[in-house]
Amino acid sequence: MADTQRSGRHRQASKENRRTTARHPRGLAATIVAVCIVVAVIVALVIHTGVRPEKAAVPSGRHGLTPAPGSYIGLYAPKSFAQVKAFTAGTGIKPRVLVYYSGWQEPFRVGFAQTAAKDGAVPLVQMNPTDVSIAAIAAGRYDGYLSVYAKTVRAYHHPVILSFGHEMNGYWYSWGYGHTSPIAFVAAWRHIVNVFRALGAQNVTWLWTVNNIHKQTGVPSPDPWWPGNSYVNWVGIDGYYIDSSSVFNSVFGPTIVAVRALTHDPILIAETSAAPASNQPAKIANLFEGVRLYGLLGFVWFDSLNKVDWRLNRPAAIAAFRRSARTYLGLTT
């Protein structure tokens, strides 16, 4: 019966379409022209980029995080949560974002996420596909791993920020500039997002994290790696105050301009710090001022010893952070 009814409705619709076409021949011609234009644009996109657009993944809009400027002060503290507590004790600020870097095929760290949530923080996971074929990820060869990961994140229920292949416009990672093509990266990014969304992991905020543009060292604009607005919620930018000449405008300004040419998504400084030789207290004050003036979400402080001692462990720097943070958050001194 249902098939008969559908067939009858189909025939009736066909008759209506023929009558409409007979009455509006110009409308039919305009429709045909419009379709041809759309097809031509899609073909041109494929020829130009080499990437066949996947079905657009619709942003969930339910990841539970505010996109308001100035909402986040985050921390990468690699040693333990004791380091997070020491940071809070020194600065008077509880980080709202806690970062960890995840090797490929490493499961989602539920324990880390739960501990972060108990302290009022959101986990930010940088998924790093070191020495993994990015084309293989795009082709679905790691869908078993991604499916388990997505289901675990979904079962966690609380907000999670996920980023894949951060600093891809830099040349130092296997998935980055000079090692993997931007076309392959974009295809992999879109595929990962589609897998998570198909499995209902609606609590994910997708953070596309790039390195700051640096002409002297050959770090280009990130625009060839842009996956498209349907696949990104926030943009992350990594950059550091290396010496006394570093200021917010020189470190982040050109990259913010490049990102704004691509999207109006909220921007988070996803990794930053100031070297001791740069006059760390002054750079900390400048960082807070820059984030506020540019209307960014906030920043993540890289509190680690990694070739340079980026940690916040000197009294003058800690005092500067506490003072600047209170002003930034509008707290009474």
Q: Per-residue confidence at 333, pLDDT binned at 50, 70, 90?
A: low
pLDDT, one tens digit per residue, over 169-218 is 999 999 999 999 999 999 999 999 999 999 999 999 999 999 999 988 99
Confidence of residue 16 (pLDDT cuts 50, 70, 90): very low
Token duo for residue 66: 């505010």
C-beta atoms surrounding 46 within 10 Å: 12
What does the alpha-carbon distance between residue 155 and residue 213 come to, in Å, rounded to a whole number? 37
Asked if residues 101 and 126 have their Cβ atoms less than 8 Å apart, the reply is: yes
Is residue 76 within 8 Å of residue 301, measured between CB atoms?
yes
What is the C-alpha separation between 296 and 267, in angstroms, rounded?
Answer: 5
Residue 332 has a pLDDT of 60
Instruction: Please give the share of the chain, as a percent, with pLDDT higher than 70.
Output: 80
For the segment 76-118, what is each residue's pLDDT rounded down to a tens digit?
A: 999 899 999 999 999 999 999 999 999 999 999 999 999 999 9
Distance CA 169, CA 259 (A): 13
Q: What is the pLDDT confidence band of residue 52, given thresholds at 50, 70 and 90?
A: very low
| pLDDT tens profile 208-249 | 999 999 988 999 999 999 999 999 999 999 999 999 999 999
Looking at per-residue pLDDT, the higher value among 47 and 151 belongs to 151
Beta-sheet strands, E only, within the chain? 72-76, 97-103, 122-128, 160-164, 204-211, 234-238, 267-272, 298-302, 305-306, 308-309
Task: Provide the 3-class DSSP secondary structure of residue 106.
Answer: coil
Dihedrals phi, psi of 116, to nearest 5 degrees: -60, -45
Which candidate, 151, 140, 60, places its Cα nearest to that of 108?
151
**Per the structure block, which two tokens stand in for 329?**
């958050």
Give the tens place of pLDDT for each residue, 296-318: 999 999 999 989 999 999 999 99
In angstroms, the CA 40 to CA 96 distance is 46
